[in-house]
Amino acid sequence: MTIAQVIVDVPTMQTDQPFSYLIPEEMLSVIKPGMRVEVPFGKGNRHIQGFVIAVTDEQEQFPQQELKYLIHPLDLAPVLNQELLALADYMKEETYSFKITCLQTMLPSVLKAKYAKQIQLLLPESLPKEWQSFFGSDTVVPYEEAVNVMGVALIQQLRMAGTIDIRYLVKKQNRVQTVKMIYSCVTSENYPMFAQMIRKGAKRKVQLLERLTQFPKRTLQEYLDEGLSRTVINQAAMDGWLRLEAEEVYRDPYAAQTFAKTTPLQLNDEQAAAVQALADANQSQTFLLEGITGSGKTEVYLQAIANVLEHGKTAMMLVPEIALTPQMVERFKGRFGEAVAVLHSGLSQGEKYDEWRKIERNEAQVVVGARSAVFAPLENIGLIVVDEEHESSYKQEETPRYHARDLAIWRSNYHQCPVVLGSATPSLESRARAQKGVYQFLHLTKRGNPDALLPSVEIIDMKQEIVRKETTTFSRILQEKIQDRLNKEEQVVLMLNRRGYSSFVMCRDCGFVLPCPNCDISLTLHMDTKTMRCHYCGHEERIPHHCPSCGSEKIRYYGTGTQKVEEELTQLFPEANVLRMDVDTTRKKGAHERILRAFSEKKASILLGTQMIAKGLDFPDITLVGVLNADTSLNLPDFRASERTFQLLTQVSGRAGRAQKHGEVIIQTFNPEHHAIVLAKQQNYEAFYQEEMQIRHQSDYPPYYFTVKIIASHEQEEPAARKMFQVYREIEHVLSSQAKILGPTPHAIMRIKNRYYYQIIIKYKREPQLANYLTELLERSQMDQRNGLFLSIDKEPLSFI
């Protein structure tokens, strides 16, 4: 008997063991690994979803009566291929999460949501006669009804032939969009015969026949636009003059743009060496490409990808969401045109699905996308690029807490192809691996454009500025330099470092700060909506005019929001046009791109923004970059605070002077002697790496130690705390004396969304028992879930707080 092994989707009872289901006779040819199916489950035979991970032939191992039949497939073709099924296994082990969660995570969101599913008739002409009455005059029927009446095997066949397709009702929008094409069947041989068929005076027929001799393939709409009726066209189809076909069109978000074709640049020696090293790697190998900002890393990727395409292979390039700017897309589409599929969160669900389909059907050979693009169903991969590999957004902050970099390396292993991690400021972990020879080190030390010089960087000690009692936001020097650029009609980028920073309301009489009722954190002031908002749970309330604690009216807001800086800026420089880019101005779809486009078209001379602006901008007229407050991110209670600050300052400095004009950077700080700031001024990553490694070594931090965080949460404080103390006692026996346990402690923000969080952090070097213990701990935690206690495991957490 043939059995489907199914991972079922039961949120309250997750298990990584597949369940066996019999496959009904008529579905034997249909069911394949990687498809989703509906199966009966539990005592009540409730219908639930699951993933088929294998189809096996079993000999009498099961008494047949104990097995249930699966009900029907939810897909007509596998949504995950063999490679991605195997990747799910790896991800599960790496991230300590349940397999079903991993499988779900890999799918495009259109497929995940529970939308109504329908069968859409694309080509009524090729539908077998006996089913024509079933569809009647409709072109859509509900999926389940079609499966029941026609049988899945036939439906699958018709789908492969292009007669029908599945569509999902996403916001009343057709999932698959089609356009009707007319193929001409007219040849010089049959032309006279067709011409004879035309009755005298039938002008439209004459016109149609003429057109058919001119256009072998044309859309139906074009014929209709010329005044030909559907009746005439249908009649002609029956007479054999033409063939009507429905062709799928993709919703292409970039359709309106044209991309000027670009040609490969003449590489400098360092770039050429990097491209060559990648070309020579004919097996799985990880490269670290460290190159200063503007050193032409992107050009290296482009040429390395071109090499791979020439060998008939495909390529994947991951970019942090925020760096996936129109400029970046343009560079790829400009070089590779139609071969490029772009996946990022700015696309609608339908658009994203279309891009995914293009990849699945091998119509796109180059995928450019953010974190989840690592799951793109590309086959025959020849190169994987992870640009800005140090970016924390590559790690998903919810289960499964995967790091796209790790999954990219796994896929390079599967495809036996190189993977290149690129950055101007590599993560210490990656740089250390390159040091040890685990990764092969490639280094670009010069700017790609030989005319572009590194910008000069100046540090302003804001402690001195305060003494002078001038504006607290803009130092005197920065004001002068901005004025100078305005006079010269050059462009200025100003960054307000908002990491770990917010504007809040405080009472001057009693010091009261407005807290969130659900979380242990103060509310943030949002001037655009004139509300106080919680950044964790979204709670929103009005700005108070009196102190809720003492009734005083002296309740003021503190902190420098971008809006406040913008006001100051327009007062200081009334003639300047300022564009602002922060969470408030980029909430709407496409807003981010609009602001960048306006700036590139020089509609403004100053771009003011948060760290969002630090990446991906490549405009020739930016000659001044100002960092208004370098320190806020330094003060975070996090061992990566220096690393993050150094990265941010280097990135933003790299925006200046990328072309002929010389660039200048002004960094305002209260900590002018801090090594992250001094070395960012020197733009000396290597020196920063050395110094920071010593600090990490002294305090036993990564990359000298591996880390894992275990978190328990509950609506009450006590059960969460109790659980973590229990884990602590167990884990003491599991670990060797070399490991260090921090905690149990409450999370820095103990209560979030009315749940209390407790955690333990383990620092370790080699603990062979640990992985098994954690897997078992997770399995056991399912019992606790019924009592509202949730446990999660975060391997290599981004922060300790």
293 binds ligand ADP (CB under 6 A): yes
Task: Decide which of Zn ion, ligand ADP, none touches 296; Cβ closer than 5 to 8 Å per partner kind.
Answer: ligand ADP
Report the C-alpha gap between 310 and 303 in whole angstroms: 11
Q: Which residues pair with 460 in a beta bridge?
A: 668
Token pair of 60 as six digits: 């009498």
User: Residue 719: is the preceding peptide bond cis (ω within 30°)?
Assistant: no
Torsions phi, psi for 458 (to 5 deg) = -125, 135
Task: Decide which of ligand ADP, Zn ion, none touches 267; Cβ closer than 5 to 8 Å per partner kind.
Answer: ligand ADP
Answer for which of 519, 628, 711, 793 binds Zn ion (CB under 5 A) is 519
CA 724, 726, 727, 731 torsion-angle sign: positive
The answer to the question of whether 417 is labelled as a binding residue is: no
Task: Decide which of ligand ADP, Zn ion, none touches 518; Cβ closer than 5 to 8 Å per partner kind.
Answer: Zn ion
Task: Decide which of Zn ion, ligand ADP, none touches 400; Cβ closer than 5 to 8 Å per partner kind.
Answer: none
Closest C-alpha among 494, 45, 443 to residue 269: 443
Task: Decide which of Zn ion, ligand ADP, none touches 633; Cβ closer than 5 to 8 Å per partner kind.
Answer: none
Kindly report the CA angle at 382 between 376 and 386, in degrees rounded to 5? 60
Answer for which of 16, 89, 93, 618 binds ligand ADP (CB under 6 A) is 618
Please report how close the Cβ of residue 306 comes to ligand ADP at its closest, in angstroms.
Answer: 14
Question: Which DSSP string do the residues of 59-95 spell out, in sequence order?
Answer: -SSS-GGGPEEP-EES-SS-SS-HHHHHHHHHHHHHH
Question: Which residue stretch of 90-98, 186-194, 295-303, 786-794 sits at the interface with ligand ADP (rule: CB under 6 A)?
Answer: 295-303
* DSSP alpha helix (H) spans, 588-716: 591-600, 641-653, 675-681, 685-698
Per-residue DSSP letter, 634: T
Please report how close the Cβ of residue 523 comes to Zn ion at its closest, in angstroms.
Answer: 8
The answer to the question of whether 185 is labelled as a binding residue is: no
The answer to the question of whether 550 is labelled as a binding residue is: yes
325 binds ligand ADP (CB under 6 A): no
Q: Which residue has the tokens 């690393």?
A: 643
Please report how close the Cβ of residue 399 comes to ligand ADP at its closest, in angstroms.
Answer: 33
Q: 3-state DSSP: the chain helix, strand, coil percent, rounded to 5? A: 35, 25, 40
512 binds Zn ion (CB under 5 A): yes
Residue 607 Cα distances to 491, 652, 731, angstroms: 8, 12, 51
The answer to the question of whether 102 is labelled as a binding residue is: no
Task: Decide which of ligand ADP, Zn ion, none touches 524; Cβ closer than 5 to 8 Å per partner kind.
Answer: none
Q: Which is nearer to Zn ion, 204 or 539 (CB)?
A: 539
Which position's Cβ is nearest ligand ADP? 448
Answer for which of 18, 296, 561, 672 binds ligand ADP (CB under 6 A) is 296
Helix (H) or strand (E) segment spanning residue 271: helix 269-280
Answer for which of 262, 549, 745, 785 binds Zn ion (CB under 5 A) is 549
440 binds ligand ADP (CB under 6 A): no
Task: Pick out residues in 641-670 that bind ligand ADP (CB under 6 A).
Answer: 658
Please report how close the Cβ of residue 610 comes to Zn ion at its closest, in angstroms.
Answer: 21
Sheet holding 242-249, edge to edge: 217-219, 177-184, 242-249
Q: Characterize 505-524 residue by residue with b for buried, 16 or more Cβ atoms within 10 angstroms of its Cβ, and e for exposed.
A: bbbeeeebebebebbbbbbb
295 binds ligand ADP (CB under 6 A): yes
Please report how close the Cβ of residue 545 comes to Zn ion at its closest, in angstroms.
Answer: 12
Answer for which of 116, 265, 438, 749 binds ligand ADP (CB under 6 A) is 265
Task: Decide which of Zn ion, ligand ADP, none touches 670; Cβ closer than 5 to 8 Å per partner kind.
Answer: none
Amino acid code (one letter) for 299: E
Report the C-alpha gap between 240 and 197 in whole angstroms: 11
Question: Which residue stretch of 292-300, 311-319, 642-650, 709-717 sits at the interface with ligand ADP (rule: CB under 6 A)?
Answer: 292-300
Q: Which residues pair with 669 in a beta bridge?
A: 461
Q: Are the C-beta atoms of residues 274 and 442 closer than 8 Å to each other?
A: yes
Amino acid code (one letter) for 282: N
Per-residue mark of binding to ligand ADP, 187-206 (x: CB under 6 A) = --------------------
Report the C-alpha gap between 113 and 631 in whole angstroms: 42
521 CA to centre of own chain: 28
Task: Decide which of Zn ion, ligand ADP, none touches 297; Cβ closer than 5 to 8 Å per partner kind.
Answer: ligand ADP
Binding site for Zn ion (CB under 5 A): 507, 509-510, 512, 516, 518-519, 534, 536-537, 539, 547, 549-550, 552
The annotation places the binding site for Zn(2+) at 507, 510, 516, 519, 534, 537, 547, 550
Binding site for ligand ADP (CB under 6 A): 265-268, 271, 291, 293-299, 448-449, 618, 658
The annotation places the binding site at 507, 510, 516, 519, 534, 537, 547, 550
